[in-house]
Amino acid sequence: MRDLLDEALAGVAARPTRLILTTLGTVLGVAALVGTVGLGQTAAGQITQRFDLAAATRVVVQPDDKGGQEGEAATQLPWDAPDRIKRLNGVEAVGTVSSLEIGDDLVENVTGLDGGEGKALQVMAGSSGLWDAVRAVLKTGRFFDDGHDQRADKVVVLGKHAAERLGINRVDSQPAVFIGDEAYTVIGILDSVTGRADLNDAVIMPNGTAKQAYKLESPDAVEIRTAVGAAQLIAEQAPIAIEPNNPSTLTVDAPPKQGAVRKGVESDLNALFLLLGAVALLVGGLGIANVTLLSVLERISEIGLRRALGAARRHIAVQFLVESVIVGFLGGLLGTAVGVILTVGVSWVRDWTPILDNRLAFGSPLLGAFIGLVAGTYPAWKASAIQPITALRGT
């Protein structure tokens, strides 16, 4: 077997110029495939980086004229809005958020560790679903839940910056803050939220508590986190779900559709390039088949000699088959290199991070080899079928 490989290698190496020309089609085909897939993967990576995922899945519903004075707004969001939204397909999490009118009330650390002065902090209220909807991450402690909400417990969660200003960084000692004259237990401190930066500077209490303490009548906004790609649909359905009779009185903030459009264009382009690559591969395969057939005819006397030296039909067949596999493999290798360089080059120019699947890089030379195998089958069979006396004729 090793010998056959050696013989095949020697056969391939004997005609270097032809080798290069033969591999050309395969090189182009594999390069096109690797380049297309590589750039596709790279571009996909950039898309998710640029349109950050959080923004692409965020939908916010608010009453139309939120600007109205003292709750004279024509529309109020119902308290059960989250429940109505939750039923929609593609909603991953939903919660309400409201800013509270606390008048002149200041917020102060009960222990006075913050310097003993009241701070003019934003006080907000939310439903238990809010946290998941804004992808809130805790630094410490816990979120309030439906229980706190229903019991109107005097608990709050602090936004990151609010906690800093109040000098509170842990909750295991059950710290408390005064809002006005009322004490609230701090049960959690936020580390980060997405899309609602105002929560970072706020002290947030459950809706139930806010209703009692500050007569909160209705939520300011409904925050919805959707599944990837579902944002547009939810944006259409949400107002109807909340206000079936008057959906137009609600405003919806949803991510632009551009992302989807661009992706569509890109996949069309990809398909085109992949098709081109496939055609180039087909041509490459035919090229290999053609040249191998030519080389069989050219080397008839070599075939005759080998048969005279004891080679069986299969030895001849395997040799030519291995030769064309080597040619295909080299083409695949070269094509992969070109494709990778293309991907890296374009990424470099566009200032992207090149992303290339390992399987693609290692698989593509094998694809070339496979094409060589298929292309070489007929010529190899042809070569092995040549009678020794025909091959040696003219001696």
Closest contact distance (angstroms) between CB of 306 and another protein is 7
CB atoms within 10 A of CB 245: 6
- Extract the tokens encoding 104: 């002149």
Dist CA 210 CA 157 (whole Å): 13
What tokens appear for 17 in the block? 């110029």
Phi/psi at 228 (5° precision):
-60, 125
CB closer to another protein out of 234 and 316: 316
- The distance from CA 351 to its chain's CA centroid, rounded to whole angstroms, is 18
Rounded distance between C-alpha atoms, residue 326 and residue 375, angstroms: 11
CA distances from residue 95 to 82, 91, 153, 179 in whole angstroms, order as listed: 6, 11, 18, 23
Helix, strand, or coil here: 289?
helix
Structure tokens at 194: 């997405």
Which residues of the chain form contacts with another protein (CB under 8 A)? 2-3, 7, 10, 13-15, 301-302, 304-315, 387-389, 392, 394-395
Question: Shortest Cβ distance from residue 290 to another protein (Å)?
Answer: 21
The amino acid that residue 173 corresponds to is S
Residue 333 CB, shortest distance to another protein, in Å, is 23
User: Which amino acid, one-letter code, is at 269?
Assistant: L
- In the chain, the amino acid numbered 263 is K
- Residue 349, classified by CB atoms within 10 Å of its CB into exposed (0-12), middle (13-18) or buried (19+), is exposed
Q: Which is nearer to another protein, 15 or 139 (CB)?
A: 15
Rounded to a whole number of angstroms, the minimum distance from the CB of residue 17 to another protein is 13
Nearest approach in angstroms of CB 325 to another protein is 19
Q: Which of 132, 123, 127 is nearest to 144 (CA)?
A: 127
Cβ closer to another protein: 165 or 306? 306
> Minimum Å distance from CB 24 to another protein?
22
Burial of residue 10 (CB within 10 Å: 0-12, 13-18, 19+) is exposed
By C-alpha distance, which of 173, 199, 198 is closest to 186? 173
- We find the least distance from the C-beta atom of residue 19 to another protein, in angstroms, to be 12
Please identify, using beta-carbon distances, which residue of 244 and 310 lies nearer to another protein.
310
Given the complex with another protein, which of 267 and 301 has the nearer CB atom? 301
Choice between 227 and 308, CB closer to another protein: 308
Contact partners, residue 312, CB within 8 Å, separation at least 6: none
Q: Are 340 and 36 in contact (CB under 8 A)?
A: no
CB of residue 386 to another protein, shortest distance in Å: 12
Nearest to another protein of 236, 302 (CB atom): 302
Q: Which is nearer to another protein, 235 or 317 (CB)?
A: 317
Nearest 10 degrees: Cα torsion 212, 214, 218, 221? -120
Pick the closer one to another protein by CB: 2 or 359: 2
Pick between residue 4 and residue 240 the one whose CB is nearest to another protein. Answer: 4
Q: In angstroms, what is the minimal distance from the CB of 387 to another protein? A: 8
State the nearest-atom distance from the C-beta of 329 to another protein, in Å: 20
